[in-house]
Amino acid sequence: METKFRDATADAIKTDLLVLPLQEKNLETVAIRSLDRRLRGKLSERIKKSKFTAAEGSTLVYDTAGTLPASHLLLAGLGKANDVDSDIWRKTAGRAWREASIIGAEEIAFYFAPEKDPENAAGSVVEGALLGSYRFNKYRSNTQSPATVKSLTLFRPGLKRSPGLERSVHTAEQIVPGVFLARDLVNEPPSVTTARFLGEQTKIHCSGQGLSVEVWGKKKIEAMQLAGLLAVNRGSLEEPRFIKIHYQPAGKIRKKVALIGKGITFDSGGLSLKSAKSMETMKLDMAGGAAVIGTMSRLSRLGPNIEVTGYIPATDNLPGGNAQKPGDVIRYLNGKTIEVLNTDAEGRLILADALALAAKEKPDCMINLATLTGACMVALGSGVAGIFSNNQTLADSVMRCARGAGEKLWQLPLVKEYREALKSSVADMKNVAGPHGGAITAALILQEFVDEIPWAHLDIAGPAFAEADNPICGKGGTGFGVRTLLRFLLTI
Ligand code: BES
Ligand code: ZN
Ligand code: ZN
């Protein structure tokens, strides 16, 4: 999809779908009035009949039947927010793209008159339209590919293109393919996305200037003593992989960042087997790893002056004959030991290896993404990820980037008193505590492996996967985290 800017009026622009974003109860805009005049009052009549009020998310389509240069109008409600934020622009553009694909429009013209921060708004509109265009139809036999939108024109009388606008649009265009890669990896069936497949895909997608990939097989994982990954892998016939992606910027390095992603390609729970219902979506359990791969894959194009290493321990979690058993003890690289009382609390077991390995490189900060606990979903619902951190400056900066990206994060506390509940009768700690505060106790276990390096842990169990339809990602893998991480790497 090509993005253009034009200085034009709504009644003169020729397009397949003319999008008019409107604020609630403020429908008498200059553009609407001029269109209504050209349509001899039919538009206002239609608005009245339909009871369209421009509530956030509402839409009204009007077929101009050849009476205007635009063949269809889409009135898109922005709601009553005083300042329309980037998230509203993103969703409005996502809805516009959907409407365009329903009517077979190849060109969209978007009336672009944000009250503030036009650069940010332009990037959000383009990002939203592109994000809304995502489809995963590979396994459907009955889809004809719909006409795809070829161009998106942002216009209004007097609109001028500027380097700032173009930069923001370019950044959005470069970020989105990373989100799509993460979504694709999550949406593939779990018998396709094996650890080996994840390694192969990483090699394919993380190539280009400054990027290099190492994929460690079982022997190397044994030699590196990644005991958690080996323990979780024991119940599986698939070999594990440890994926390491490195980005070396061309210029002077300002910071060194480590990104760690949980790569459980399917979580059956292991011997602590999940119920049939809880297992249905468990192909999503590599969404953290997918977000790291998606993020890394864009770095050669976006070129931040940050050295970034991505670490993804990958395996499925199955109850085979040689599976780890409740009561087994894992001894880690840094000497710490964990008694495994529940094999379904496996994410922390493999992340511990990756965090300990990453910490040895002494990065300026480490961020890990993991679909770690159902408890986090109980606390925050499916739309919000939890963030835990040992460093408030880092947490604030990740949360600022998430806000800009329209990805919801809510900080939860690392309550040190809860460590008591993790005491084991045989090892340094158990892998599960009592029935309450499960997201926090999981985070406390991870913290044992970060060696005091500024660290943030994002529990993305909820927002990694959309079970209900959503204007910018549909159902399924959302690619949550990629947009936040890329903004973080581009702005710190
Ligand atoms: N992968 C799950 C967490 C999860 C649950 C992600 C729902 C997405 C949706 C994780 O490995 C897990 O099973 N955690 C257990 C931990 C428990 C055994 C302490 C959980 O949350 O129930
Ligand atoms: Zn589990
Ligand atoms: Zn899991």
Show pLDDT as tens, one digit a residue, over the chain (492 residues).
Answer: 999 999 999 999 999 999 999 999 888 899 999 999 999 999 999 999 998 999 999 999 999 999 999 999 999 999 987 778 999 999 999 999 999 999 999 999 999 999 889 999 999 999 999 999 999 999 999 877 767 899 999 999 999 999 999 999 999 999 999 999 999 999 999 999 999 999 999 999 999 999 999 999 999 999 999 999 999 999 999 999 999 999 999 989 999 999 999 999 999 999 999 999 999 999 999 999 999 999 999 999 999 999 999 999 999 999 999 999 999 999 998 899 999 999 999 999 999 999 999 999 999 999 999 999 999 999 999 999 999 999 999 999 999 999 999 999 999 999 999 999 999 999 999 999 999 999 999 999 999 999 999 999 999 999 999 999 889 988 999 999 999 999 999 999
- Measured distance CA(165)–CA(88) in Å, rounded: 18
475-490 per-residue burial string, b: 16 or more CB within 10 A, e: under 16: ebbbbbbbbbbbbbbb
Pick the catalytic residue from 33, 46, 255, 274: 274
**Could you tell me if the CB of 370 is within 6 A of ligand 1?**
no
Q: Whose CA is nearest to atom 3 of ligand 1?
A: 373
The answer to whether 173 and 179 are in contact (CB under 8 A) is no
What residue has token string 């970034």? 308
Tallying the residues shown for the chain, one arrives at 492
Longest Cα–Cα distance of the chain, Å, equals 82
State the virtual CA torsion across 219, 220, 222, 224 in degrees, nearest 10: 170
Q: For the beta carbon of residue 205, count every other beta carbon within 10 angstroms.
A: 21
Radius of gyration of the chain (CA): 24
Please calculate the CA angle 10-15-21 and round it to the nearest 5 degrees: 50
How do beta strands 2-7 and 151-156 pair?
A: parallel
Q: Determine whether 348 is an active site residue.
A: yes
Ligand 1, pocket-test mutation among 284, 344, 460, most atoms within 8 A of CB = 344
Ligand 1: nearest atom to the Cα of 347: 11
The answer to whether 111 and 20 are in contact (CB under 8 A) is yes
**Could you tell me if the CB of 157 is within 6 A of ligand 1?**
no
- Measured distance CA(478)–CA(470) in Å, rounded: 10
- Phi, psi at residue 440, to the nearest 5°? -75, -45
Q: Copy the structure tokens of residue 192.
A: 């396709």
Q: Which residues contact 136 (CB under 8 A, 6 or more apart)?
A: 183, 184, 187, 474, 476, 477
State the virtual CA torsion across 83, 86, 91, 93 in degrees, nearest 10: 100
**Could you tell me if the CB of 373 is within 6 A of ligand 1?**
yes
- Measured distance CA(140)–CA(412) in Å, rounded: 40
Picking from 393, 370, 381, the residue whose alpha carbon sits closest to that of residue 458 is 370
**Could you tell me if the CB of 461 is within 6 A of ligand 1?**
yes
Q: Looking at the CA of 377, which ligand is closest?
A: 1
CB-side neighbour CA atoms (13 Å) of 159: 23
Which amino acid, residue 409? L
